[in-house]
Structure 1
Amino acid sequence: MATLTKELTSGRPLPLILNFTLPLLMGNLLQQTYSLVDAVIVGRFLGIDALASVGASTSVVFLILGFCNGCCGGFGIPVAQKFGARDYGEMRRYVFVSLRLAAVMSVAVAAVTSFWCGDILRIMQTPGNIFPGAYAYLLVTFLGIPCTFYYNLLACVIRALGDSRTPFWFLLFSTVLNIVLDLFCILVLGWGVAGAAIATVFSQGVSAALCYRYMMRRFEVLRGDASERRFSGKLARRLLSIGVPMGLQFSITAVGSIMLQSANNALGTACVAAFTAAVRIKMFFMCPFESLGIAMATYGGQNYGAGKPERVWQGVKASSLMMTIYWVFTFCVLMTCAQPLARLFVDGSETEILEDTALFLHVSVSFFPVLGLLCILRYTIQGVGFTNLAMLSGVSEMIARILVSLFAVPAFGYIAVCFGDSTAWVFADLFLIPAFAFVYRRLLRMKRQPLG
């Protein structure tokens, strides 16, 4: 029995986006769950230094994997557009070209980053007592980039077809496997911090393989003849022209995060541990914003392909309403429960780390509406094909974080680190709001014109 795809080009935007977002949200929560589990198991069973080792490389992982995941999201945009236009033959050609590009790009990125792994950590001023653990964790993560790349690409293709549920089930399987392997590698085999990374990479690899097999067997719309599986330089160039700017947008954003984390690393192991715990918790509560954004990329791409730009603006308004309601809930939770959540990672006697973690979370949640708007506008702009503008919003974030790192952190210490992300979100929105207005006007002028 074939799996059904879903068009988002007709019907009320709010329920459509909500129904599409919920499986994405569950999937993102699962991803953050095994990120949290890694940190909790490492912090509880291996100690504060091991937890700091994992955290010391967080921004670098975001830099590299963010580029890969951004490329995957970009590769899914032409698929969504052609699906919305019901040009299924061209859609299949894009899918098979993207799979070949993924093979070359992922292996190349894995080779280069693994070679420079140690130098990257030294540039980031990683404290000597946590350097070996940080190096082991980062090296394994880099070597596993092909697994991560392929899983995210396959998930993006399936979502482009309007199915956000299937990737969730494979991610659920991956999360459960990751938790079991975390405990086995760390507690039974004694592989330490490297064991946490091995568990994650292996889980994603298995999930990617199963996802590909399922997708090709169950999605009738992806079945084509041999001519549609041939490599096309023209389609590859279009995929790269969309995917690379999206990847660079994540990487450019991460450069600022690396600067901020480097400044924080210089403040000592306690600040690194607090930052690690706070970022893990923050990322968990940020999931709905990211999920809404991803949903808007598919929604925007399909409606652009169908020649219905007015629905894009309707979707932005519906998403903003959902984002605001969620923020009110999150604000209440994090303002009252930040320290109890931090105690998942460290013992209650570590009062300095607990207080620093809570401070970071209180500042971050106060600016979550700014972040929510950022996600909705950026992904919508990407979904309709204006990826270069989305990349420039990443430049705005990078500049903000660099300024905070170079001037505010040396002057004010950890409190400045707490305001680093929120300052970057404000800078990005100052660019994205007029950028979206420009894009929407362009879409209205291009209404119902053939796609290039």
Structure 2
Amino acid sequence: MVIDMTKENPTKAILTFAFPILVGNLFQQLYNIVDSVVVGRFIGKNALAAVGSSFMLMNFFSYIIIGLCLGASVVYSHFFGEKNYSSLKKTIFISFSAISIFTAILSILLVVNTRHMLLLIKTPQSILESSQHYLQIIFGGLIFIFLFNACSALLRSIGDSRTPLYFLILAAIINIVLDLVFVIVFNMGVVGVALATIIAQAVSSILCLIYAFIKIPIIRISREDMVFDKNIALMVGKYGFLTSIQQSIMTFGMVCVQGLVNTFGPDTIAAFTAAGKIDSIAYLPVQDFGNAFSTYIAQNKGAKNASRIIEGVKSASRTIIIFCLILSVIIFVSSSNLMRIFVNANEVNVINLGVEYLSVISIFYVLIGFLFMFYGFFRGIGALRVSLILTVISLGTRVIMAYTLSSIPQIAQRGIWWSVPIGWALADSIGFITYRKMKKNELF
């Protein structure tokens, strides 16, 4: 179902559009969690650490591709808001062609250099081989990550957030079944987990691609649309490049933090992996709300409706405050029980470290909620440089504070935990000031 977000009530439009994205990403997180649970419980602590140590590198390069797709989707939304379907189709052709070529080249380079990257982030020798095997399979299947995210971003840009949900559910089911079969039945270890992920991505991405270009007429490309338009290419390049840089900076910061975590040994790595999974699910709704908000802003920017943009910001702020306060209480109270889902109860030190992490982070979820809203707002109005600056401030502060605080013996790894809300708070302050100035000067 395609939603025109230039007409409906802002709160209803954003939430209606965001809900399928949230459910879909919950399923995506579900099969990431199943990976960790299966590995942690059926293979062991070191295997969980191996997957966890690999996860940040996997995310770093995946989000470069996802960023390109998100950037292109802003252009899709603008043309959709203008009802300029001819330019929309040309944009689809140009962006899909360029990003697929880039992904293929990147995939080859990463497979060849996997071990060097793991050594660079100080991966312990005890988990190096497992991490390398896991990542090489994931990197080899990057093209499927591109296909799925490109199709999902396209569909969501025109207001269809339900179709990607169906294919994500399919991917989650396939991944869970194959995880259990490859690890428990065939005893394939972390290689089985990686293969399950790639096979699930491949099936869902190909089916989503077929559906998108056969079933939706306004994005169905003909031979006349397969032309190079310089202005459109420059627009896609600008939005795609800046959004990709933003996404890669976010994950690069996490890679730097992962390198620091790795120096504290397997227990801390396992705790950080498990707690990070819980944390990412906890704030996933506000992340998806921010992405939905970006589409709302982009469509109304294309329709040149500034008053509706301001109304949307007020609505989004209220929603974020209410939801994040509820979420903070739930995670803070249940952190110990949540950690026991990922590791055996006898791993007391791992559980305690994870609870310590979640107890600090969960208090400040409202900060990350507003940060995702600002990301969505500035991306939607085309001010990608501002969104990029906020990312640099947030992640840069986090990395600097993590290394600084953790170097103090009395603080140790607790400094890594506290660096997170410090980065969020600083970025939020800059985002709020910038929004007020743009609103005052009528720059959107």
Fold-level similarity (TM above 0.5)? yes
Q: Aligned residue for 2:34?
A: 37
User: How far off is 1:397 after superposition?
Assistant: 2.1
The 3 A distance-change label for structure 1 pair 58 and 419 is farther
Q: Provide the C-alpha distance between the structure 1 equivalents of 2:304 and 2:433, rounded to a whole number of angstroms.
A: 22
Residues of 2 paired with 1:136 and 1:352: CA distance?
28
- Indicate which of 316, 320, 324 corresponds to 1:319: 316
1:404 Cα shift? 2.0
Report the counterpart of residue 22 of structure 1 in structure 2.
Answer: 19
Query: In structure 2, what is the equivalent of residue 431 of structure 1?
Result: 430
2:234 corresponds to which residue? Answer: 237
Which residue among 391, 403, 424 is the counterpart of 2:400?
A: 403
SS in 2 for 1:98: helix
Matched, 1:273 2:270: yes
Q: From 350, 354, 360, give the equivalent of 2:351.
A: 354
For 2:136, which of 130, 136, 139 is the aligned residue?
139
What is the match of residue 91 of structure 1?
88
Deviation at 1:445, TM superposition (A): 4.7
Q: What CA distance in whole angstroms lies between the structure 2 residues aligned with 1:322 and 1:445?
A: 25
Q: Which residue number in structure 2 is paired with residue 182 of structure 1?
A: 179
CA drift of 1:81 comes to 0.5
Partners of 2:443 and 2:55 lie apart in 1 by 43
Whether contact under 8 Å (2:86, 2:225) holds in the other structure is yes
How many angstroms does 1:357 deviate by? 0.7
Q: Deviations over 1:279-326 (max 9, x none)?
A: 001011111111111101110110000010221221122122111221
- Asked if the contact 1:260–1:404 (Cα under 8 Å) also holds between the matched residues in 2, the reply is no
Preserved contact between residue 256 and residue 400 of structure 1 (Cα < 8 Å): no
CA distance in 2, matches of 1:393, 1:75: 20
Distance 2:311 2:168 in 1: 30
Please tell me whether the aligned partners of residues 93 and 221 of structure 2 are also in contact (alpha carbons under 8 angstroms).
no
> What RMSD, in angstroms, separates the aligned Cα atoms of the two structures?
1.4
**1:368: how far off?**
0.5
- Structure 2 distance, partners of 1:249, 1:437, is 22
The two structures have a TM-score, normalised by structure 2, of: 0.96
CA distance in 1, matches of 2:236, 2:101: 14
CA distance in 2, matches of 1:248, 1:205: 25
* Alpha-carbon distance in structure 2 between the residues aligned to 1:42 and 1:440: 49
Q: Which of 349, 365, 370 in structure 2 is aligned with 1:368?
A: 365
Q: Which amino acid aligns with 1:317?
A: K
> Which residue number corresponds to residue 280 of structure 2?
283
Shift of 1:439: 4.0
Which residue number in structure 1 is paired with residue 97 of structure 2? 100
* 1:393 corresponds to 2:390: yes
CA contact (8 A) 1:127 1:265 kept: yes
1:261 alignment partner in structure 2: 258
Contact 2:36 2:51 (8 Å CA) reproduced: yes
Q: Distance between the aligned counterparts of 1:113 and 1:273, measured in 2?
A: 24
Q: Which moved more, 1:95-104 or 1:369-378?
A: 95-104
Q: Does 1:74 align with 2:95?
A: no
| 2:382 match: secondary structure | coil
C-alpha distance in 2, partners of 1:185/1:23?
Answer: 30
More divergent stretch after superposition (138-147 vs 33-42):
138-147
Residue 117 of structure 2: which of 120, 136, 146 is its match?
Answer: 120
Q: Helix, strand or coil for the counterpart of 2:83?
A: coil
**Match for residue 49 of structure 1?**
46
Q: What does the per-residue CA deviation read over 1:303-359, in whole Å, with 9 as the maximum and x for residues that have no partner?
A: 000010221221122122111221122122111111111111111111111111111
- The CA deviation string for residues 14-65 of structure 1, in whole angstroms up to 9 with x for no partner, is 1111111110110111111111110000000000000000111222122111
Which residue does the alignment assign to 2:421?
Answer: 422
> Once the 2 structures are TM-superposed, how far is the Cα of residue 202 of structure 1 from its aligned partner?
1.4
Q: Which runs of 5+ in 1 are unaligned?
A: 447-452
What displacement does 1:273 show? 0.4
1:413 and 2:373 equivalent? no
Change (3 A) 1:137 1:438: farther
TM-score by length of structure 1 reads: 0.95
2:68 aligns to what SS in structure 1?
helix
Q: Aligned AA for 1:191? A: M
Counterpart code for 2:311: Q
Change (3 A) 1:225 1:250: closer
Taking the aligned partners of 1:400 and 1:61, their CA distance within structure 2 comes to 22
Q: Which residue of 2 aligns with 1:449?
A: none
Q: Percent identity among equivalent residues?
A: 28
Q: Give the partner amino acid of 1:124.
A: I
How has the CA–CA distance of structure 1 residues 87 and 187 changed in structure 2, closer, same or farther, with 3 Å as cutoff?
A: same
Contact 2:291/2:376, CA 8 A, preserved across alignment: yes
Counterpart AA for 2:154: V
- The equivalent residue for 1:450 is none
- Specify whether residues 303 and 198 from structure 1 end up closer, same or farther in structure 2 by C-alpha distance, changes over 3 A only: same
Partner SS state of residue 162, structure 1: coil
Moved more, 117-126 or 395-404: 395-404
Q: Secondary structure at 1:343's aligned position in 2?
A: helix
Q: CA deviation at 1:423?
A: 2.1
Moved more, 403-412 or 200-209: 403-412
Q: How many Å apart are 1:96 and its aligned residue?
A: 1.4
Q: Secondary structure at the match of 1:344?
A: helix
Deviations 1:386-424 (A, max 9, x none): 112111111112321221233111212111111232222
1:316–1:377 Cα contact (<8 Å) kept = no
Q: CA deviation at 1:116?
A: 2.0
Farther-moved stretch of structure 1 (417-426 vs 17-26): 417-426
CA contact (8 A) 1:126 1:262 kept: yes
Which segment drifts farther, 388-397 or 295-304?
388-397
